[in-house]
Structure 1
Amino acid sequence: MNIEPAIPTSKNPPAQFAGDVWLDPIALPHEPDQTMVVATVRFAPGARTAWHSHQHGQYLRVTQGIGRFGTRDGSIIEVHPGQTLYTPPGQEHWHAAAPGVFMEHIAMIQNAEDAAATTTWAEHITDAEYNGE
C-alpha cells in the first residue's frame, strides 16, 4: 500500500479540446491487468471537448459548476454537482462547461487492451452544436 505521488496538472491538447481544459490524474494502472483510469478535469466557461467515444464507456461525476454533454442526435444534457453521467461504449459525445461558468468533473474510464485505442477522437464540435441549435 502506498500514497500515490502527485502528478502535475496538465493542459489538455487543442487538437481535442477547445478552450482551457486542465487534467489532474487520480488513478492510473500500475499492473498489466489493471485498466481503471480516473482524473479530475476542469473546464473554463464554454470550454469543450471534440467529438469522441470510449471503447468501454465512461462515467463523469460533476463536482463543481454546470456540465453540458451532447450526443450526435443533438440532445444536450446539463449535469449539476453530485450527478453522474454514464456514456455507453462507442457512443459519440462531447462534454463542456456551460456558458459563463467553470465546470469540474471526475472522469472514470477503463482502458482498452491497447490503451491508445481507449478513446477515439473526431472533429471539434461547432458553436451551433454546443448551443443546441
Structure 2
Amino acid sequence: MNDYAKKSMFAVGKPNEAFSKYFSGDSYLEVLNTSSAFVANVTFEPGCRNNWHIHHTEAQILIGVGGRGWVQIEGEEAKPLNAGEVVCIEPGVKHWHGAAKDSWFSHLSISVPKDDGSGKSGTDWLEAVSDEAYGKLD
C-alpha cells in the first residue's frame, strides 16, 4: 500500500476495524468532516468490497479519487467507478462498492441526511457480495 498511499490526494487513514465484518478484505478510513455532512476517504485493497447495504436516513455520494473500483445498485449491472466519477445513491437503495480485483481504490463517501420515509434509521448491513458475482467483473 505504501506506493498507493504516497500517490493519494487524501490520507489513506487507519484500518477500518469498526466495519471490518462488513467488508471482504481490508479497507482504511480517514474521516475528513463530521459537521453537517459526514465526509470520509475510504480506501480498499485490491479485491476488497463491502457487503450489500442500505442507508435509511441519508443519501450517499461516492466520488472516486484514486485507483479503480466498482459500485452496484440492486437490480442493475455493476458499474466501474474511477477517479473523478460521481455516483449518488438515494436513501433506501440497496447497493455495494469496492475495489477492482487488481487495483487499490479510494472514494470520498459523503453522507447527506435525508429521510426516506421508512421510519428506519441508520444502515442495514446485509449479505456479502458473492465471490462468484464479483469474480465476473473485469
Short-chain TM bin: 0.7 to 0.9
Q: Deviation at 1:71?
A: 2.4
Q: Which moved more, 1:16-25 or 1:67-76?
A: 67-76
- SS where residue 46 of structure 2 aligns? coil
2: distance between equivalents of 1:10 and 1:84?
24
Number of aligned positions between the proteins: 119
User: What amino acid does structure 2 have at the position aligned with 1:9?
Assistant: K
User: What amino acid does structure 1 have at the position aligned with 2:26?
Assistant: D
Identify the residue that residue 16 of structure 2 maps to in structure 1.
Answer: 11
Identify the residue that residue 3 of structure 1 maps to in structure 2.
Answer: none
TM-score between the two structures when normalised by the length of structure 2: 0.77
Conservation of the 8 A alpha-carbon contact between 1:110 and 1:118: no
Q: Deviation at 1:15?
A: 1.7
- SS where residue 51 of structure 2 aligns? strand
1: distance between equivalents of 2:122 and 2:66?
26
1: distance between equivalents of 2:122 and 2:133?
24
1: distance between equivalents of 2:14 and 2:114?
24
- SS where residue 132 of structure 2 aligns? helix
Residue 24 (str. 1) matches residue 25 (str. 2): no
Instruction: Point out where structure 2 has 5 or more consecutive residues left out of the alignment.
Output: 1-12
Identify the residue that residue 124 of structure 1 maps to in structure 2.
Answer: 128
Identify the residue that residue 45 of structure 1 maps to in structure 2.
Answer: 46
1: distance between equivalents of 2:130 and 2:87?
22
Conservation of the 8 A alpha-carbon contact between 1:57 and 1:109: yes
Q: Cα–Cα, structure 1 residues 107 and 57, in superposed 2: closer, same or farther, change >3 Å?
A: same
TM-score between the two structures when normalised by the length of structure 1: 0.79
User: What amino acid does structure 2 have at the position aligned with 1:48?
Assistant: R
Conservation of the 8 A alpha-carbon contact between 1:53 and 1:89: yes
Conservation of the 8 A alpha-carbon contact between 2:32 and 2:39: yes
2: distance between equivalents of 1:118 and 1:111?
10
User: What amino acid does structure 2 have at the position aligned with 1:41?
Assistant: V
1: distance between equivalents of 2:69 and 2:45?
11
Identify the residue that residue 6 of structure 2 maps to in structure 1.
Answer: none
Instruction: Point out where structure 1 has 5 or more consecutive residues left out of the alignment.
Output: 1-7
Conservation of the 8 A alpha-carbon contact between 1:76 and 1:132: no
What is the RMSD computed on CA atoms of the aligned residues? 2.1
